[in-house]
Amino acid sequence: YDNLATLYKEVVGQYSRYMGHVTKNIGGIETTPKSIEQPGAVYEFTSKARQKEAMAFLQEQLFTTPSWLLDYKLMPIIGVNPGTQLAGLQAQVAARLMNPSTLGKLDLFEQTKGSAAYTSTEMLSDLKKGIWSELATRKAIDPQRRMLQKGYVDALIAIVAPAPAPAQNIGGMQVQMGGGGSKISDATSLLKGHARSLMAEIKAAAAAAPNQATRLHLQDVAGRLSDALDKK
């Protein structure tokens, strides 16, 4: 049993590393070491075509549920819930793609390359189309996809409405330490717009949900987004 648990964790770990390598292409900057005599740039943005290819790979291999990882018969043996573990990995990758650092590099790419760039707006649209495909098709959302979508919303909220850092006692005074992303970055504005657009689509889909589980899920994530965006 111990060997089986170790083997399963190693497979998941290797899979996670593969997904991480692919994710690096989105907003990626490639380095080609050169001597002073060699022509050409040392630093180049990953091409739009390659970034789009990376997004398509993630949608097919990660965000479309990889059922081969979900062998629930192993759960009593390995002591891990495969579905929860997968949802955590999916949310981690989505959060990395929505990170202001990634969006900032995409914006810099757009400023430098213009129409040849894979823009932050296009990337977020592609990300949403895959993870939230049921909003357009009005299909039922299965439990694993519901976990993915909740993870997506929680990752988005953590950026656009971060929880305040706990106050610290300094010299007998309660001091609130700073936290959250930069207020001068366009990334937060873009993500807030993305969140509001997503919330509107979720509410429309909830009204036409094909079953109760899907409707309650959509109402829940819409409420989370509303609470985060409208809080004072």
- What are the tokens at 66? 């990889």
Provide the CB-side half-sphere exposure for 232 (13 A, CA).
0
Angle between helices 186-207 and 100-113 (to 10 degrees): 110
User: pTM score, two decimals?
Assistant: 0.84
In this structure, are residues 79 and 72 in contact, taking their beta carbons and an 8 Å threshold? no
Contact partners, residue 187, CB within 8 Å, separation at least 6: 100, 103, 104, 107, 120, 159, 181
Distance CA 16, CA 91 (A): 12
pLDDT value of position 5: 78
Q: pLDDT tens digit string along 7-18?
A: 888 888 999 999
Percent helix, strand, coil in the chain, to 5, is 70, 5, 25
Q: What's the average model confidence in pLDDT over 135-144?
A: 95
CA dihedral sign of residues 20, 25, 29, 32: positive
Sign of the dihedral through C-alpha 57, 63, 65, 69: positive
Work out the end-to-end distance of the chain between its first and last CA atoms, rounded to an integer number of angstroms.
51
**Band of residue 165 on the pLDDT scale cut at 50, 70, 90:** low
Q: What is the DSSP letter of 66?
A: -
- If pLDDT is split at 50, 70 and 90, which confidence band does 81 have? confident
pLDDT band at 27 (very low <50, low <70, confident <90, very high): very high
